[in-house]
Chains A and B, each alone.
Chain A
Amino acid sequence: MAAPDMLDTVGERPGALARVRAGAAPFLRNRAFVTGAVLFGFIVFATAATPLLTDAAPNELSIRDRFQPPSLQFLLGTDNLGRDMLARVLYGARLSLGIGLSVVLINALLGVALGALAGYYSRLDDILMRIADALMAFPAVLLAIGIAAALGPSAVTAVVALSVVYVPRTARVVRSSVLVVRELDFVQAARAGGATDLRILRRHVLPNCLAPLIVQLSFVFAYAVLSEAVLSFLGLGAPPTVPSWGILISEGRAYLREAPWLTIVPGIAIAITALGLNLLGDGLRDVLDPRMKVEQG
């Protein structure tokens, strides 16, 4: 029963390596993606490899060495208690990125679940989206500050507050994709094949909503790191014994004139992370969603 219309299907199949290469090519051609990946990769590497990069402990006092400007001995200088800023920034990254990542994971779980339910079941849509509207009506940082203040400062508080702020936004993005995908022919075909709603959502709808979700999550990561810094700057994040970037800036503020590196260094760390993640998100969006592509010169 060999049919002539097989002729226009692919003849040879490329090897796994070639396939990966072909798949990666559009990403590598995208300047925003590459720049973002390098910047964020640098931060992630520095965070993961901290013990290799510095021997100093983040909370080790050395009164004799206080307010040292950046030098060969203290690459990023020391603070008012003589603590090594390189170590403090690197260890601080653990907390900042950890909180950011937790918020992203919670968004990936809750935001996706709520967005999928709202998009798929029109009865739930109204209720869920009105709640989301109410939460999104508050300015993001203000809402986070309010929740964190109500719950009392801690790392967990920061995660909860930032999740409350960003989950509705992620749910919105997921919902709008689900609304589109659930009308596609293959969803109807799956239904005609006797698939359950759960199966249709899991296997047919959500995998086809991944692209905007990944982009959204990369932005959430950036905003979460930024907002966490704001919260800890205001004393609503992790307690000061743990140096997160926001706390470093907050502590350095008093010595802004004498020792500007105390605020500049963690500031730059936040900037690199946020910039890297934003570029990464932009690049991902351009590659994954060709309709949004801005003309490149």
Chain B
Amino acid sequence: MKADAPLLSIRDLVVDFAPGSGRLPAVDGVSFDIGARELVCVVGESGSGKSVSALAVMGLLPETAAVSGAISFEGRDLRALTRRQWRSVRGQQIGMIFQEPMTSLNPVFPIGRQLVETLRAHERMSLRASRDRAADLLDQVGIPSPRQRLDDYPHQLSGGMRQRVMIAIALSCSPRLLIADEPTTALDVTIQGQLLDLLNDLRETFATAILLITHNMGVVAEVADRVVVMYSGRIAEQADVFSIFDAPRHPYTEGLLASTPDLFSTERRLTTIVGSMPNPAAPPPGCLFAPRCPLALDMCARERPELRSVVGGQQSACLRAEQMAMGDKP
């Protein structure tokens, strides 16, 4: 991490879809930064608030959601943008790719047209120039014979190819930040790897920072600079990728790591984290993870710990974060 101002800074983000109902908000007090060219992974299971946080950054949440907190991008307050200003941010300064490559492209237009459209929505360029640029982009995301592919319809491409097209569209205006919401989840494993490599390469080429949302610790290990672990709308732990893997300071992170399949393990059953996420309508009074936590003390059921610095840049929201490094592992 650099000392200068971060590219994206999120402070105390709260997103509540049913304000006043007493239900746990979908995102509850999330703060993190992304530096220029940094690749930050947000991990967590379904419903932990990762995607909602990303949509909040893009300003794409439904109007019914009550949002509070600050989101600033290159020093600009994104939450204060008008609709018109948003348009120049979305696609041009922040790009986004989605989980489902099969449905994220408009089925009735050739992919070239969709690329050209995004380009021309943000930059004044001739049709010919934009087609050239579109072919360039397809080439850069590793699509062979890009010029011919421009006239292909989405249904003529495989899932992996479509996700490459999505990446090309998202990067078409060289955004400073690319948000990728589980971009590889819907794809098979070999293609996952290729796409991750591609994203990592493109980060250099386009000098873009990446916010990668995933629930796959394997993906995290492969590409992340820094990791934000989310649980039930809150940040459980935040640290650089090495600390997360070598010395997790939150039992949830540890659980996630333990439940990742291990190539060298001979065990037949995968380790799981027992139980499920708390019911948002009736959250436990103390630490939200306490009911599932192997290290929980009586204290944990009473007090909800805040995120705090533990060591170096590592932050954890566990009362026992300090003890975890002392070999107090299950």
Contact = CB atoms under 8 A, between A and B. Distances in A.
A193 B170 contact: yes
A137 interface: no
Interface in A159-195: 184-186, 188-195
A172 B199 CA distance: 44
Interface residues of B, number: 45
Interface string A1-43: 1111110111001000000000000000000000000000000
Contact of B108 (A8, A13, A196, A207): A207
A203 B194 CA distance: 31
B142 A196 contact: no
B169 A193 contact: yes
Of B106, B144, B198, chain A has the most CB atoms within 10 Å of the CB of: B106
A3 B92 contact: no
The dominant DSSP class at the A interface is helix
Given A184-B103, A185-B103, A5 B122 contact: no
B91 interface: yes
Contacts of A203: 106, 109, 117
Contacts of A208: 106-108
A191 B164 CA distance: 19
Contact of A193 (B121, B148, B160, B194): B121
A191 B156 CA distance: 24
A208 B107 CA distance: 8
B325 to A, nearest CB: 40
Contacts, number: 103
Given A5-B158, A192-B58, A193-B121, A186 B142 contact: no
Contacts of A199: 117, 121
Of A1, A2, A5, A207, chain B has the most CB atoms within 10 Å of the CB of: A5
A291 B260 CA distance: 41
Interface of B: 58, 60, 86-92, 95-98, 100, 103-109, 117-118, 121-122, 139-140, 142-144, 148, 152, 156-158, 160-161, 164, 166, 169-170, 190-191, 194, 198
Give the 10 A-B CB pairs with smallest separation, nearest first.
A194-B91, A1-B142, A193-B91, A5-B160, A192-B96, A194-B90, A185-B103, A207-B108, A185-B104, A189-B104
Given A9-B161, A186-B104, A194-B118, 20 more contacts: A2-B142, A3-B143, A3-B191, A5-B160, A5-B190, A9-B152, A9-B158, A10-B156, A185-B100, A185-B104, A186-B105, A188-B104, A189-B96, A191-B90, A193-B169, A194-B89, A194-B91, A195-B121, A203-B109, A207-B106
30 contacts: A1-B142, A2-B142, A3-B144, A3-B160, A5-B160, A8-B158, A10-B156, A13-B148, A185-B98, A186-B103, A186-B106, A188-B60, A188-B104, A189-B97, A189-B98, A191-B60, A192-B58, A192-B90, A193-B90, A193-B95, A193-B169, A194-B88, A194-B90, A194-B91, A194-B118, A194-B121, A196-B87, A203-B117, A207-B108, A207-B109
